[in-house]
Structure 1
């Protein structure tokens, strides 16, 4: 067993969900993991109930969706207020992601999408109304990501058909 009672099957499920949760069914996962699809459904439900899986979010190409401007704001909030300020920032229109950093400066990173410079000015003004200091604004060209591959371990790669456990 690993941290928080997770085992290699749980990590395998997390790995496969990260790759493509929308198109990967428990039946598909059962072909790659040494357990049945029923076991996988039960494990996913437990992972959701335990708050390990918090949701399923689509990856959106904002430029293709009509929002060609993506701005990354680096901001500083008082350390004791960081969590509350991050939550308030995420509630603002056109802010799509907020990262709370463990640092004294630039401890809030906010990603905003906009269609034009007027919207950029409005977003900046709304952020500026929060108890934080905008340290820098940067235009984001492209974001790339991938699943955290350490979840897969050996269970996904070593599975052979017929090797099932309940």
Structure 2
């Protein structure tokens, strides 16, 4: 993986998109930094092409949609199989995110949703059938996110 050098404008674009991509235009960013909207659009396209920006995702409130249970399932996979098992776990119905962690134990974190305990039990059983060892399950009450502050020109 190559590292992409970011200048102040790139960082501000990233901060702004992390803050509120849906309601921010290239013109909004451009006017704050005394550059043209086409410059901002070109920078965004280059950040996407370089793999810095990997996508734009909806932040879904699952509880509002009827899936009131949001769980973190901590699993352990054999290191040589971690990537393959994590990818397979992402295909389990009810799983919305899987993270690979660089540790021996608890090296696959699975985020799942369900309407009741049966849904969460099924997810755990399917992860077990894949070969992941489930070591902990935690119900998540809230998640708080914010953009990376080092990208905010006002804070640096």
4+ residue segments displaced more than 3 Å: none
1:150 and 2:150 are equivalent in the alignment = yes
Q: CA RMSD in A?
A: 1.4
Partner SS for 1:38: helix
Normalised by the size of structure 1, how large is the TM-score?
Answer: 0.87
Please name the residue that 2:73 is paired with. Answer: 73
- Counterpart-to-counterpart distance in 1, 2:151 and 2:38: 20
- Counterpart-to-counterpart distance in 1, 2:118 and 2:44: 44
* Higher-RCO chain (CA-CA 8 Å, sequence separation at least 6): 1
Deviation at 1:5, TM superposition (A): 2.8
Write out aligned runs for 1:126-145 (5 A): 126-145=126-145
Please name the residue that 2:87 is paired with. Answer: 87
When structure 1 is superposed on structure 2, of 118-127 and 70-79 the one drifting more is 118-127
Deviation at 1:98, TM superposition (A): 1.0
- Counterpart-to-counterpart distance in 2, 1:67 and 1:85: 25
Partner SS for 2:143: coil
Q: Which runs of 5+ in 2 are unaligned?
A: none
Please name the residue that 1:62 is paired with. Answer: 62
Please name the residue that 2:35 is paired with. Answer: 35
- Counterpart-to-counterpart distance in 1, 2:83 and 2:34: 40
Normalised by the size of structure 2, how large is the TM-score?
Answer: 0.93
Partner SS for 1:75: strand
Residues matched between the structures, number: 153
Deviation at 1:85, TM superposition (A): 1.2
Deviation at 1:121, TM superposition (A): 1.9
